[in-house]
Amino acid sequence: MPDLLIELFSEEIPARMQKRAGEDLQKLVTNGLVEAGLTYASAAAFTTPRRLTLTVEGLLTESPSTREERKGPKADAPEKAIEGFLRGAGLTRDQVEERETPKGNVLFAVIEKPGRPAAEIIAEVLSQTVRTFPWPKSMRWGSGSLKWVRPLHSILCILTDEAGTEVVPGEVDGIAFTDTTEGHRFMAPGRFSVTSFEDYEKKLKRAHVVLNAADRSEAIWHDATNAAFASGLEVVEDKGLLAEVAGLVEWPVVLMGKIGDDFLDLPPEVLQTSMKEHQKFFSVRNPKTGRIERFITVANRETADNGATILAGNEKVLSARLADAKFFWENDLRVAKSDMSVWTQALENVTFHNKLGSQADRINRIAALAKELAPIVGADEAQAEEAARLAKADLSSEMVYEFPELQGLMGRYYITASGRNTAMAAAAEEHYSPLGPSDDVPTAPVSVAVALADKLDTLTGFWAIDEKPTGSKDPFALRRAALGIIRLVLDNNLSADLLGLCRKHMQTFEGFEQEKPFDLLGFTHDRLKVLLRDQEIRHDIVDAILAMKKGNNDLKFVVDRARALSETLATDDGENLIQGFKRANNILTQAEDADGVEYSYGADIKFAEEAEEKALFEALDAAEAKIAPAMEAQDFASAMQAMATLRGPIDAFFEAVQINADNQTVRRNRLNLLSRIRTLCLSVADLTKIEG
């Protein structure tokens, strides 16, 4: 059982692509081998900045030979049918057999495929894999036509068994397979040959390459935390950065450096962002004060001076970066402390969208809306309006221009510096939330008012100008905005006329048309269904509530009813009630169709003949008396419970009573009685939408 080792050695592969590339290599090669009949015991892939490596253990030495028999058309079938059969089998007429069957002479093709040696299959599969590799972005180089993520230099491909090691004969675009590779670019230049995976991994290590990305990550984290700990500090955890850095080095060497005293008073987020985004440094924090005091950089080599030159260079680069950040911070603070309206004025010259005006126009709209929403969310009107005016002011600040990801957060710092209260400062930071399904939802009233106003303005604006999401395209993140509104409303238990708010606000845009707010409400309902599905509330239940029209404009109202209905339907009574309702509804609909009338009124207990019939009258009277006031009081649980009590009487009624009585008066009365069931149930929810 030979083992296979493959290494694709190239110029530096972007860190973010390495993990996926290793997985793709493993999948494509092993799938290709198995498809060709070459099974294996185990496989594993590894990546470094310059190589993708795959080891496959316990391969078959050759693929099993196969014999396939195909039945074809009759021997006297039309020429075309026979030709097609032969083409499919890849045989000629004299290579197929004629066999007697009860239906006459039929053609049979016997296709025998002899087994093929592993090396031959590997060469084909590897060549195909390299040529069709799914890099997110690939390129050509030199005069060749092959595409790879960066120039591909060599392909190691060997088979190893007890007898020894052989290079699999093959090539891709002039790159012949070999048994050699290279070590670290600087610490161990030059090629060497390997005989097996163990030998490869060992020799790479000697040549200063740690093959396994997980080992590199672990080493980096271990050394980084140790270095920090020795100084009484801690490394700020950042898994994404760790994975990226592990993809930038083959021989990680952790170095801890100082941040100039001048910069230690910058907000920790600024230090962290600047160091991470520009330099890929980890931040090192003083656990006592929470301040960022040092940094960790990961070099790709050891040096005779133990990294002193490298660290000095990195510290110098960082100083230049932080000098910029400090300059921005101090300039920004000056503006914040004197007059932030300079920033909002500057936003008059920044286009938000050419049909929706400038950022300043947008802020004015949001401020007006936030004021309107304030009483609904329990915020002070003046405060909500001012908070909305300031929430995006930091977009004009120098710091946010440099680090857009700090928007909102810088707003909080600057509004605090301007002497305003913490509620307004918090609104600047929180009004973008929730950004994703797992992001926290703001709860402070001022923040909620601004966050809602921001999202409503975005949705109504883009709806007015007909820029709705289509299919997978949602360039303005409108689905996220709608979900944000839903979560803000539900998590804060807000009752609001969403349709009315949308309509009123949308009227401030050119392009408003009467039906657009309804369309937007429908879009929001669709998002709501997705959210509720994740909370195990079925879409047909939500549909049954939404079909009621009345109250649809209030998301909390919709969800409360959907939840109550969902809980009712989960009970035995609830489930059977649906069956009873559907039966009543079906009989009634059929009779109405046949008779051409609507049975909607006039059922009278005096025409009731059977005891079960009379009992149903009484049960309906009792339920009606409970449901109407419960609905009025928005006590859906009680309304649903009252509805569910009808299950017994309805079942009994259908059991004992024949609707189509000979006496027309009795029949009509019974149909009108069914109509009362329908009307009563439909006053709670449109149960016709319930599936099953």
Partner 1 sequence: MSDTVTTPKSFQEIILRLQNYWAAKGCAVLQPYDMEVGAGTFHPATTLRSLGTQPWAAAYVQPSRRPTDGRYGENPNRLQHYYQYQVLIKPSPPDLQDLYLGSLRAIGIDMDLHDIRFVEDDWESPTLGAWGLGWEVWCDGMEVSQFTYFQQVGGHDCHPVSGELTYGLERLAMYILGVDHVMDMPFNDPQTPIALTYGDIFKQTEEEYARWNFDTANTEVLLDHFVEAENECKAILAAEHDDPKTGKRIIMAHPAYDQCIKASHIFNLLDARGVISVTERQAYIGRVRALAKQCADAFVQTRAGGWQPEDAA
Supply the minimum distance, in Å, between the C-beta of residue 301 and partner 1: 6
Task: Name the minimum Å distance from CB 250 to partner 1.
Answer: 11
In 422-497, which ranges are continuous DSSP H helix?
A: 422-430, 445-464, 478-491
Handedness of CA 133, 134, 139, 145 (dihedral sign): positive
Q: Which is nearer to partner 1, 27 or 153 (CB)?
A: 153
Q: How far is the CB of 633 from partner 1 (least distance, A)?
A: 53
In angstroms, the CA 194 to CA 180 distance is 6
Q: Could you tell me if 263 and 329 are in contact, meaning their C-beta atoms sit under 8 angstroms apart?
A: no
On whether the CB atoms of residues 556 and 493 are closer than 8 A, the answer is yes
Of 175 and 545, the one with the shorter C-beta distance to partner 1 is 175
Say whether residue 570 binds partner 1 (CB under 8 A): no
Please say which residue, 190 or 436, places its beta carbon nearer to partner 1: 190
248 binds partner 1 (CB under 8 A): yes
Q: How far is the CB of 475 from partner 1 (least distance, A)?
A: 15
**According to CB under 8 A, which one of 317, 368, 628, 637 is a site residue for partner 1?**
317
229 touches partner 1 (CB under 8 A): no
Among 140, 334, 337, 533, binds partner 1 (CB under 8 A): 140
Nearer to partner 1, 11 or 269 (CB): 11
624-626-630-635 Cα dihedral, nearest 10 degrees: -120
Site for partner 1 in 110-139 (CB under 8 A): 137-139
Q: Which region among 144-152, 408-416, 488-496, 618-626 touches partner 1 (by CB under 8 A)?
A: 144-152
Instruction: Give whichever of 11 and 526 is closer to partner 1, judged by the CB atom.
Output: 11
> Exactly one of 20, 71, 105, 141 binds partner 1 (CB under 8 A); which one?
141
Bridge partners for 283 per DSSP: 295
Among 163, 230, 304, 594, binds partner 1 (CB under 8 A): 304
Q: Which long-range contacts (CB under 8 A, 24 or more apart) does 167-170 make?
A: 168/4, 168/119, 168/122, 168/123, 168/126, 169/119, 169/123, 170/119, 170/122, 170/123, 170/124, 170/126, 170/127
Query: Given candidates 39, 226, 309, 495, which one binds partner 1 under the rule CB under 8 A?
Result: 309
Closer of 61 and 138 to partner 1 (Cβ): 138
Q: Indicate which single residue of 193, 286, 303, 683 sits in contact with partner 1 (rule: CB under 8 A).
A: 303
In the complex, the smallest distance separating the C-beta of residue 308 from partner 1, rounded to whole angstroms, is: 8
Q: Pick the stretch among 14-22, 91-99, 614-622, 649-657 that binds partner 1 (CB under 8 A).
A: 14-22
Q: Are 41 and 51 in contact (CB under 8 A)?
A: no
Q: Which of 312, 435, 633, 656 binds partner 1 (CB under 8 A)?
A: 312
Q: Using CB under 8 A, pick the residue from 236, 310, 376, 448 that binds partner 1.
A: 310
Binding mask 252-291 for partner 1 (x = CB under 8 A): ---------------------------x-x----------
- Smallest distance from the beta carbon of 468 to partner 1, in angstroms? 22
Q: How far is the CB of 132 from partner 1 (least distance, A)?
A: 18
Q: Binding segment for partner 1 among 310-318, 369-377, 465-473, 536-544 (CB under 8 A)?
A: 310-318
Size of interface with partner 1, in residues (CB under 8 A): 43
Under the binding rule (CB under 8 A), the answer on residue 95 touching partner 1 is no
> Residue 352 Cβ, how far from partner 1 at the closest point, in Å?
10
**Rounded (to 5) percent helix, strand, coil in the chain:** 55, 15, 30
Query: Which range in 32-40, 318-326, 422-430, 509-517 contacts partner 1 by CB under 8 A?
Result: 318-326
Closest CA to 156 of 128, 175, 183, 132: 175
Report residue 384 as tokens: 């909500």
> What is the rounded distance in angstroms from the CA atom of residue 608 to the CA atom of residue 196?
92
Please give the backbone phi and psi of residue 167, each rounded to the nearest 5 degrees, phi first: -80, 130
Query: Between 203 and 301, whose beta carbon lies closer to partner 1?
Result: 301
Residues facing 256 on adjacent strands:
296
Other CB atoms closer than 10 Å to residue 261's CB: what's the count? 8
Give yes or no for a contact between 612 and 657, defined as CB atoms under 8 angstroms apart: yes
- Footprint of partner 1 on 32-51 (CB under 8 A): 49
Closest contact distance (angstroms) between CB of 278 and partner 1 is 9
Under the binding rule (CB under 8 A), the answer on residue 299 touching partner 1 is yes
Q: Which of 27, 74, 150, 504 binds partner 1 (CB under 8 A)?
A: 150
Q: Give 310 or 646: the residue with its C-beta nearer to partner 1.
A: 310
Alpha helices per DSSP H over 177-267:
197-206, 213-230, 239-246
Q: Which helix (H) or strand (E) holds 531?
A: helix 516-534
142 binds partner 1 per the rule CB under 8 A: yes
Residue 83 is a binding residue for partner 1 (CB under 8 A): no
User: Which tokens belong to 352?
Assistant: 């938000």
3-state DSSP assignment of residue 561: helix
The answer to whether residue 155 forms part of the interface with partner 1 (CB under 8 A) is no
Q: Which stretch binds partner 1 (CB under 8 A): 283-291, 350-358, 390-398, 500-508?
A: 350-358
- d(CA 128, CA 31) in angstroms, rounded, equals 12
DSSP per-residue codes, 483-500: HHHHHHHHHTT----HHH
Which residues are paired to 43 by β-bridges?
56
Q: Does 300 bind partner 1 (CB under 8 A)?
A: yes
- 186 near partner 1, rule: CB under 8 A: yes
DSSP class of residue 64?
A: P
**Per rule CB under 8 A, is residue 73 in the interface with partner 1?**
no
- Report the nearest approach of partner 1 to the CB of residue 127 (Å): 20
Task: Kindly tell me which residue out of 176, 350, 611, 656 binds partner 1, with binding defined by CB under 8 A.
Answer: 350
Is residue 11 a contact point for partner 1 (CB under 8 A)? yes
Q: How far is the CB of 255 from partner 1 (least distance, A)?
A: 9
Residue 219 lies near partner 1 (rule: CB under 8 A): no
Of 12, 166, 467, 635, which lies in the binding site for partner 1, with binding defined by CB under 8 A? 12
264 vs 88: CA distance, rounded Å: 75
Quick check: 685 binds partner 1 (CB under 8 A)? no
Q: Which amino acid is at 570?
A: A
For the chain, the maximum distance between any two Cα atoms, rounded to a whole number of angstroms, is: 109
> Nearest-CA neighbor of 293 among 257, 326, 327, 328?
257
| d(C-alpha 191, C-alpha 141), whole Å | 22
Q: How far is the CB of 27 from partner 1 (least distance, A)?
A: 23
- Taking the CB of residue 456, how many other CB atoms lie within 10 A of it? 27
Question: Is residue 687 within 8 Å of residue 681, measured between CB atoms?
Answer: yes
352-411 residues in contact with partner 1 (CB under 8 A) are 354
Start-to-end C-alpha separation, the chain: 56
Q: Looking at beta carbons only, is 231 or 351 nearer to partner 1?
A: 351
In the numeric block, the tokens 């400038």 are attached to 358
- The alpha carbon torsion through 143, 147, 148, 151 (nearest 10 deg) reads 0
- In order of 177, 350, 468, 492, 592, the CA distances from 456 in angstroms are 60, 20, 14, 16, 45
Q: Does 348 bind partner 1 (CB under 8 A)?
A: no
Left, alpha or beta for 357 (phi > 0: left; psi -120 to 50: alpha)? left
What residues form DSSP beta bridges with 351? Answer: 358
Where does this chain bind partner 1 (CB under 8 A)? 11-12, 14-16, 49, 137-143, 149-151, 153, 186, 248-249, 279, 281, 297, 299-301, 303-305, 309-310, 312-314, 316-318, 320, 323, 349-351, 354
